[in-house]
Amino acid sequence: MKKEASFSTKGNRADLGPLTINRLLPNQYANKVGPFVFLDYVAPAIKDTITENGMGAHPHRGIATLTYILQGEEEHFDSAGNYAKIHSGGVQWMKAGTGIVHDGNLNYDSETDSKMVHGFQFWINLPAKNKTESPAHIAIQANEVPKKALAYESGWIKVIVGNYEKLSSIIPNYSQQFLYHIHLEAGKQFTIQMADKIEVAAFLPTNSVILNDTEFEAGEFVEFSRNAGEIEIKNTSEKAIDILFFGGEEYAEPIVAEGPFVMNSSGEIADAYRDFYAGKYGEIKSTKKN
């Protein structure tokens, strides 16, 4: 049985220098999809200049941030002393836990000739028991992301978060969650199964695609019903397309979000601000690896 689309939207646009950012989640229809409570999409853009000293240090508590770079180079540094640089196809994951300050640079990939930048940032809401844990960080380069070829030379699937068949991401699962990147060749199709009560959304970065017999445009965020079923992806165009699927089990605990903090009560939000202004999240000592 095919899952029905609940809604689709294109989000809100903001410009940051040469970059165009589309805020896709939260949106007018939904505040979350499984544990995912935030999604910013950095549309493909040419960036000629190099940012070296960070784009703006800021705190987080109660979530894990996840940056997935399709093209470009992302540099991460934080108040826990973590530093990493990923290149096109890589992933940065940071558990804010009890509180952290982080910053980073988004530039073109120094390992290629392309000046293009293109990627995503997600926030993954942590269960209450994990919001009190210490911060942590994981950097994954493109060749370390689990990947599998699809049947009939149809394309491939990458597992950024969660599991798919025998593929498993090294990013921790605090609840049932997934983030898949599917690449589908011209004229091909692929069907993915979703279990009952699983929240799932799709995002189409740059090309239109047919999902369960309905055509959606490039730039659309599509959420589906929670009933068990399949999502059939058809690429009827003459070039390959990419699509992201993400979601998981419903986050059942209360959610209170304000600024960079996502907690379970207003009191916890107040605590998050108080601890930040008291300096308990620490400070970034250096923006470069020693």
Over residues 79-124, the pLDDT tens digits come to 999 999 999 999 999 999 999 999 999 999 999 989 999 999 999 9
- Residue 202 gets which letter from DSSP? E
- For residue 284, tell me if it sits in a domain: no
Q: Residue 205 is which amino acid?
A: P
Q: What is the mean pLDDT of residues 256-285?
A: 97
| pLDDT value, residue 93 | 98
Counted domains in the chain: 1
Residue partners of 68: CB distance under 8 A and separation at least 6: 90, 91, 119, 120, 121, 122, 160, 179, 181
Range 140-153 average pLDDT? 98
* CATH code at position 87: 2.60.120.10
Q: Check if the beta carbon of residue 22 is closer than 8 Å to that of residue 58.
A: no
pLDDT band with cut points at 50, 70 and 90 for residue 251: very high
On whether residue 200 sits in a domain, the answer given is: yes
| Ramachandran sector of residue 97 (left: φ over 0; alpha: ψ -120 to 50; beta: rest) | left
3-state secondary structure of 105: strand
- Checking if the pLDDT of 286 tops 80, the result is no
Cα gap 105→288, rounded to integer Å: 11
Q: Is 272 helix (H, G, I), strand (E, B) or coil?
A: helix
Q: Say if 288 falls within a structural domain.
A: no
Q: Is 264 inside a domain boundary?
A: yes
pLDDT digits (tens, 9 = 90+) for 252-262: 999 999 999 99
Quote the pTM value: 0.96
Q: Look at residue 282 and tell me if it is in a domain.
A: no
Q: Which amino acid is at 54?
A: G
Residue 180 domain-assigned (yes or no): yes
Instruction: Tell me the C-alpha distance between 165 and 167, whole Å.
Output: 6
pLDDT in tens, 210-248: 999 999 999 999 999 999 999 999 999 999 999 999 999
Are 108 and 116 in contact by the 8 Å Cβ rule? The answer is: yes
- Terminal Cα-to-Cα distance of the chain (whole angstroms): 54
Choose among 43, 41, 38: nearest CA to 27.
38
Q: Which domain range does residue 220 map to?
A: 5-277
